[in-house]
Amino acid sequence: MEKQKLWTRNFINVCLSGFSLFLVFYYLLVSLPIYVIQDLHGSASKVGLVVTVFLISAIIIRPFAGQWIGKVGEKVILMASVIIFTAATALYFLPHTLTGLLILRFFHGIGFGMATTAVGTIVAEIIPDSRRGEGMGYYAMSMNLAMVAGPFLGLNTIQNLGSNWTFVIGLLLSFFGLLTSWLIKLDTKEKGDTVLRKAAPLSFRDLFEKSAVKISLVGAVFALVYSSILSFVSVFAKELGLVETASFFFVVYAIILLLSRPFTGKWFDLYGANIIIYPSILLFAIGMLLLSKTTGPSLFLIAAGFIGLGWGTVFPSLQTIAIQESLPNRRRLATATFLSIFDLGIGTGSYLTGLAAAKIGFSSLYFSGMFVVIAGLILYFLLHGRKESLIKRQTSL
């Protein structure tokens, strides 16, 4: 049997489009706090609002974006959303108060929420079923690479060139995403039952995919822990006197991820989710333990490798399960549901871990995170892993 093709022009452009969206997200995630404090003279306690407001609007819009995709198609929503996203990026020159910036961040989050839902839906549609785990893994890898490149570029730009050049470069990166999104060519498909139900009032089923909720909740538990790394690992490094090493944390994370991705995605397709997810969760937990015990650069970077291999594998695997559990015409809503609940975990985690770190310190925070990861493993077993094992035993009889 001939192997179905994965690396098509559409798949490459979708990965580039997703990479651009998340590159700008992480680029601004690290540069805007410095801008708020230095240029807008805001307090450190207000910095978290820049992230929270953005994610709130993304979470609110995603279920509606999934429903709109069913009515007018993925490409229309994608282009509308990346235009909003790019327009918002162009407006960062204007606000001179924190309130104005927060209003813009809310607007920007709408474009981000719609665009990531559309891109996630498109990639789920164009990947061959026999290579879904592998394809989703490579797509997730593009987001992980953005997580490395964005902070590195953002910090260097705002520290060396200032805020105006930071916003200029952010706009150019957004234009790249607009271009790659425009290059995606999709076949016109039947709209299915969503067209027949256009006149019906909106219901929960129109906005969320019920089958994706359980695995999304598992993802949200891990997101609570991941948010502590995303938000505070550089602060933790500074506290330890590892400022120069901090920038290499996500570099090591990405290198380990790149080396493992060709294998983990294929193994997911060949052997099923449990074979990949259980070991990956344990690696994530070990990484958190090592991070909590860090006193020098070597252990700090070893922890990054374990977390990159563990969490970097768990995230695309859970998203793949959310898509596989849904019907083909509901994949757009499964994508929106998964990302919305995941972002809720990130947003909540950023706030709660900030409070916890102030009380118990970063070492204790990351040590506690290990137990949350283990709790997530148990939750995965209860909500999905047990069922998959049962199905596999029945099919092998």
**Cα distances (angstroms) measured from residue 199 to each of 46, 183, 203, 272:** 43, 32, 12, 40
pLDDT of residue 191: 43
Higher-confidence residue of 135 and 208: namely 135
How many Å apart are CA 383 and CA 380, to the nearest integer? Answer: 5
pLDDT of residue 282: 97
- Residue 293 gets which letter from DSSP? T
Cβ burial 361-388 (10 Å sphere, 16+ → b, else e): ebbebbbbbbebbeebbebbbeebbeeb
* pLDDT over 50 at 198, yes or no: no
How many Å apart are CA 15 and CA 79, to the nearest integer? Answer: 15
If you average pLDDT over residues 188-214, what whole number do you get? 59
pLDDT tens-digit map of 348-379: 887 788 788 878 988 999 999 999 999 999 99
If you average pLDDT over residues 220-229, what whole number do you get? 90
Contacting residues for 31 by C-beta, under 8 A, at least 6 apart = 154, 155, 157, 158, 163, 166
**208-397: CATH architecture:** Up-down Bundle (1.20)
CATH 1.20.1250.20 fits 7-188, yes or no: yes
* pLDDT over 50 at 76, yes or no: yes
Host H or E run for residue 381: none
pLDDT of residue 38: 80
Report residue 278's pLDDT band, with 50, 70 and 90 as the boundaries: very high
pLDDT of residue 71: 84
pLDDT tens-digit map of 315-341: 888 988 988 888 877 877 787 788 889
How large a percentage of the chain has pLDDT more than 90? 36
Domain ranges of the chain: 7-188, 208-397
Range with the lowest mean pLDDT among 132-146, 209-223, 304-318, 377-391?
Answer: 132-146
If you average pLDDT over residues 63-90, what whole number do you get? 90
How many Å apart are CA 312 and CA 255, to the nearest integer? Answer: 11
Report residue 181's pLDDT band, with 50, 70 and 90 as the boundaries: very high
* pLDDT over 80 at 148, yes or no: no
- Residue 183 gets which letter from DSSP? T
How many Å apart are CA 190 and CA 73, to the nearest integer? Answer: 10
Report residue 196's pLDDT band, with 50, 70 and 90 as the boundaries: very low
How many Å apart are CA 314 and CA 326, to the nearest integer? Answer: 19
Query: Is 7-188's fold the same as 208-397's?
Result: yes
Q: Is 332 exposed, middle or buried (0-12, 13-18, 19+ CB in 10 A)?
A: buried
Report residue 202's pLDDT band, with 50, 70 and 90 as the boundaries: low
How large a percentage of the chain has pLDDT more than 70? 91
- What the block records as the tokens of 235 is 């602060």
Q: Minimal CA–CA distance to 183: which of 175, 193, 191, 194? A: 175
